[in-house]
């Protein structure tokens, strides 16, 4: 994507790797059982799972936190999420399927996600890793976070607050979004930021004044 930022395409879900002075940062971990796949992908860029120091969690859906517990065991990484999604990750609440019939069907197909302890709850505007700003972008889930990296003019890790297809940006799919109106407001909030590159949980990255694609999506 840019220097030190890599996209690992694990089926229909993207996981992102960032090389920092404090070690490797992963954004999400994909579906259950994907830790060995992540490890192989890391070897492809001459890195190892043991070098991962932090995992930034965008939201609690199983296709994004499915391998969180296993990555934690293998790397000892610090796990960071928003408080509103934390109970679904730690198991304090029963595992919640994404909203709607489609979301429940997808959740059953994915399987059970192992609960795991979080190390840090980050608020809106928090800096979980030097250079990263957490942006609370609720709607897809109550505690959805996007992350803005201060590098190369700004790199936005949108998670599922937005999706891309053929260079066009849209909000998350309504059938698997808890509050579509809130999700639309979060998309508009992201469009107020400045960033050159945007990467997504689903869909290809947008590069070169990526924020303009967000502004076009908000404008309709």
pLDDT in tens, 149-163: 999 999 999 999 999
Alpha-carbon gap, residue 6 to 80, rounded angstroms = 19
> Rounded to a whole number, what is the largest CA-CA distance in the chain?
44
CA dist., res. 148 & res. 133, Å (int): 5
CATH of the domain at 190: 3.60.15.10
- Using an 8 Å Cβ cutoff, are 35 and 82 in contact? no
- State how many domains the chain has: 1
68 pLDDT band, cuts 50/70/90, is very high
- The answer to whether residue 108 scores a pLDDT higher than 90 is no
Contact 147, 108 (CB under 8 A): no
* 3-state secondary structure (DSSP) of residue 119: coil
Domain that holds residue 163: 5-219
Q: Is the pLDDT of residue 121 over 60?
A: yes
Contacts of 140 (CB under 8 A, 6+ apart): 59, 61, 159, 160, 161, 172, 176, 177, 178, 183, 186
pLDDT at position 103 is 57
What's residue 95's pLDDT? 54
Kindly list the strands in the beta sheet with 120-121, ordered across the sheet, starting from the edge strand earlier in the chain. 5-10, 13-20, 23-27, 52-56, 78-81, 120-121
User: Is the confidence at residue 118, as pLDDT, over 60?
Assistant: yes
Residue, of 213 and 103, whose pLDDT is higher = 213
Which whole number is the average pLDDT over 96-118? 70
Going by pLDDT thresholds of 50, 70 and 90, the confidence category of residue 57 is very high
Strands, DSSP E only, in 38-177?
Answer: 52-56, 78-81, 120-121, 132-136, 145-149, 155-157, 163-165, 168-170
Does 8 or 220 have the greater pLDDT score? Answer: 8
Question: What average pLDDT does the structure give for the chain?
Answer: 93
Residue 183 pLDDT level (bands cut at 50, 70, 90): very high
Task: Yes or no: say if 80 and 143 are a contact pair by the CB < 8 Å rule.
Answer: no
Residue 204 confidence (pLDDT) above 80: yes
Place 93 in a pLDDT band, splitting at 50, 70 and 90. confident
Residue 100 confidence (pLDDT) above 80: no
pLDDT band at 220 (very low <50, low <70, confident <90, very high): confident
pLDDT over 60 at 96, yes or no:
no
Q: What is the mean pLDDT of residues 99-127?
A: 80
pLDDT at 188 over 60: yes
* H-type alpha helices, 141-220: 180-191, 210-219
């Amino acid at each position: 994507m840019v220097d030190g930022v890599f996209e690992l395409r694990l089926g229909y879900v993207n996981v992102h790797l960032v090389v920092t002075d404090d070690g490797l940062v992963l954004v999400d971990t994909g579906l259950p059982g994907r830790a060995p796949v992540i490890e192989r992908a890391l070897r492809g860029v001459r890195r190892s799972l043991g070098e991962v120091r932090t995992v930034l969690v965008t939201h609690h859906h199983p296709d994004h936190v499915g391998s969180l517990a296993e990555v934690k065991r293998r790397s000892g990484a610090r796990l960071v999420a928003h408080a509103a999604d934390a109970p679904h990750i730690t198991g304090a609440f029963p595992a919640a399927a994404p909203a709607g019939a489609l979301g429940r069907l997808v959740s059953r197909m994915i399987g059970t996600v192992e609960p795991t302890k979080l190390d840090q709850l980050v608020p809106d505007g928090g800096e979980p890793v030097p250079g990263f700003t957490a942006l609370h972008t609720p709607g897809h889930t109550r505690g959805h976070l996007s992350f803005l990296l201060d590098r190369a003019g700004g790199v936005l890790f949108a998670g599922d607050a937005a999706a891309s297809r053929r260079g066009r940006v849209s909000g998350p799919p309504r059938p698997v979004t808890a509050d579509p109106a809130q999700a639309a407001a979060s998309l508009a909030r992201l469009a107020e930021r400045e960033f050159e590159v945007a990467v997504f949980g689903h869909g290809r990255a947008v590069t070169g004044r990526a924020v303009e694609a967000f502004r076009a999506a908000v404008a309709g």
